[in-house]
DNA sequence: CGTGTTTGACCTGCGC
DNA sequence: GCGCAGGTCAAACACG
């Protein structure tokens, strides 16, 4: 990992309702571990020795897990390659046929997603087309009932679209409108809107691809460089500044919050994509850094003698369930030019 | 004047 | 190879 792109993250660890963010160190550090709780030198030495053994054991366990994971990955990859090569063979033998849209024709008259994504043809195409094409090929269909008098072909779905064409098709007397996402070309999503043949009051929107951004309705109206969102139950903000991307999760508000406003805001950006993206960002930033993991392991296991060490460490392996509730606060770790600080209300990582 | 829509022309893939 | 149909382009136009 490129440490220059160190991502400032703060995670809600639910159980502890503490936050995690980066700050500038105020003290110069040596390679020294300082814990908030006061221990005598003897106790500390003994604890450190035990901790060292434990970390070694955990390290071994992690190595084994990683090896197993790599093996599984390789096995899956080879299986995928097999399937893909078989599909490619199949594709080349029969004559090509034009994709029939009517094959995905079960239309709901309420606002619902029908035939959601990944038609079989897209799986076939995925063998020979790049990833962009795969994304583009993801198809979903939505039908919306409108006023009979409403002649516009507008389906309000939270995104902003630019119409780029309209065409009367053979199988339907009403014209079909073609839209591109306004964020094109960075967002490849397209949609086609046409009235249903059976019921002219129903608009059928066919989406191709997946948005790589949030709906307009969920973006901050000022379109500034920072945005406040929720991540799962966790309010968080993401911003870009000169030092790189910053994601800050306010962990002081856990999902058990009874604040109605907090509840209302929860659905905002609570999409799996966002959650996954943020967790992925944080996890990769942290876990890919050996210094961080070493420091964290030291900090965690340093307290494990008094608390439940195994449970704590195992939770760490699952980044989005990370639980630091057993940490002493404040704790500060100086290691290899970085300072990792835990406070009662927040968990802070920063490098010098 | 900038932005979005309209619409005819053009492109591309498929069936014959 | 040709014609058809769906999809896209881009100039003209409308609107705030």
- CATH number, span A139-215: 2.20.25.80
Helices first, then strands: H and E counts in chain A: 7, 14
Is 0.85 topped by the overall pTM?
Answer: no
Strand B: list positions under 7 Å from protein Cβ.
4-9, 13-15
A101 beta carbon < 7 A from strand C? yes
Please state the rounded mean pLDDT for residues A305-311. Answer: 38
Residue nearest to nucleotide B15 (CA to C1'): A97
Whether pLDDT at A60 is above 80: no
The residues, any chain, with a CB within 8 Å of residue A340's CB and separated by 6 or more, are: A292, A295, A296, A299, A332, A333, A348, A349, A350
Buried b (16+ CB within 10 A) or exposed e, A294-306: ebbbbbbbbbbee
| Structure-block tokens of residue A273 | 């994509």
**Percentage of the residues of chain A whose pLDDT score is greater than 90:** 0
Please state the rounded mean pLDDT for residues A317-345. Answer: 42
pLDDT, one tens digit per residue, over A162-179 is 888 888 887 787 888 888
Q: Which of residues 78-97 of A touch strand B (CB under 7 A)?
A: 95-97
A67/B5 CA-to-C1' distance in Å:
57
A265/C3 CA-to-C1' distance in Å:
56
A162 beta carbon < 7 A from strand C? no
pLDDT at A218: 55
Scanning every strand, the nucleotide with its C1' closest to A178's CA turns out to be C7
Q: Give me the phi and psi of A230, to 5 degrees please.
A: -120, 145
Domain positions in chain A are: 139-215
Scanning every strand, the nucleotide with its C1' closest to A171's CA turns out to be C5
Please state the rounded mean pLDDT for residues A119-140. Answer: 43
| Strand, coil or helix: A73 | helix
A179/C6 CA-to-C1' distance in Å:
14
A166 beta carbon < 7 A from strand B? yes
Strand C: list positions under 7 Å from protein Cβ.
4-10
**Percentage of the residues of chain A whose pLDDT score is greater than 70:** 26
Scanning every strand, the nucleotide with its C1' closest to A98's CA turns out to be B14
Scanning every strand, the nucleotide with its C1' closest to A99's CA turns out to be B14
Q: Which of residues 171-210 of A touch strand B (CB under 7 A)?
A: 177, 182
pLDDT, one tens digit per residue, over A69-91 is 656 666 665 566 555 554 444 43
A174/C4 CA-to-C1' distance in Å:
19
Residue A342 near residue A299 (C-beta atoms within 8 A): yes
Confidence of residue A294 (pLDDT cuts 50, 70, 90): low
pLDDT at A115: 37
Most confident of A112-116, A180-184, A284-288, A292-296: A180-184
């Amino acid at each position: 990992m490129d440490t220059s792109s160190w991502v400032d993250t703060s995670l809600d660890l639910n159980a502890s309702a503490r936050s995690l963010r980066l700050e500038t160190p105020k003290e110069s550090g040596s390679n020294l571990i300082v814990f908030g709780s006061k221990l005598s030198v003897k106790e500390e030495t003994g604890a450190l020795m035990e901790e060292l053994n434990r970390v070694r054991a955990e390290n071994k366990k992690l190595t084994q897990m990683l090896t197993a994971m790599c093996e599984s990955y390789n096995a899956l990859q080879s299986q995928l390659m097999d399937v893909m090569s078989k599909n490619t063979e199949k594709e080349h033998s029969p004559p090509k046929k034009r994709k029939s849209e009517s094959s995905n024709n079960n239309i709901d008259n309420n606002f619902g997603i029908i035939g959601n994504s990944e038609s079989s043809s897209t799986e076939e195409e995925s063998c020979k087309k790049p990833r962009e094409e795969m994304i583009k090929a993801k198809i979903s269909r939505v039908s919306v009932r409108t006023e009979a008098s409403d002649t516009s072909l507008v389906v309000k779905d939270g995104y902003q679209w630019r119409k780029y064409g309209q065409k009367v098709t053979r199988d339907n007397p009403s014209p079909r409108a073609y839209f591109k996402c306004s964020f094109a070309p960075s967002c490849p999503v397209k949609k086609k809107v046409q009235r249903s043949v059976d019921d002219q009051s129903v608009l059928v929107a066919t989406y191709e691809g997946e948005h790589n951004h949030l709906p307009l309705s969920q973006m901050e109206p000022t379109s500034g460089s920072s945005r406040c969102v929720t991540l799962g139950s966790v309010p968080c903000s993401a911003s870009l500044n000169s030092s790189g991307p910053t994601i800050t999760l306010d962990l002081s508000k856990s999902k058990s919050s009874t604040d109605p406003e907090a509840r209302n805001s929860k659905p905002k950006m609570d999409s799996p994509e966002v959650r996954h993206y943020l967790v992925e960002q944080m996890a990769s930033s942290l876990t890919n850094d050996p210094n961080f993991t070493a420091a964290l392991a030291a900090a965690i296991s340093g307290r494990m003698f008094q608390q439940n060490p195994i449970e704590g460490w195992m939770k760490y392996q699952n980044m989005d369930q990370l639980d630091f509730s057993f940490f002493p606060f404040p704790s500060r770790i100086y290691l290899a030019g970085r300072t990792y600080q835990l406070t009662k209300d927040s968990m802070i990582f920063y490098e010098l």
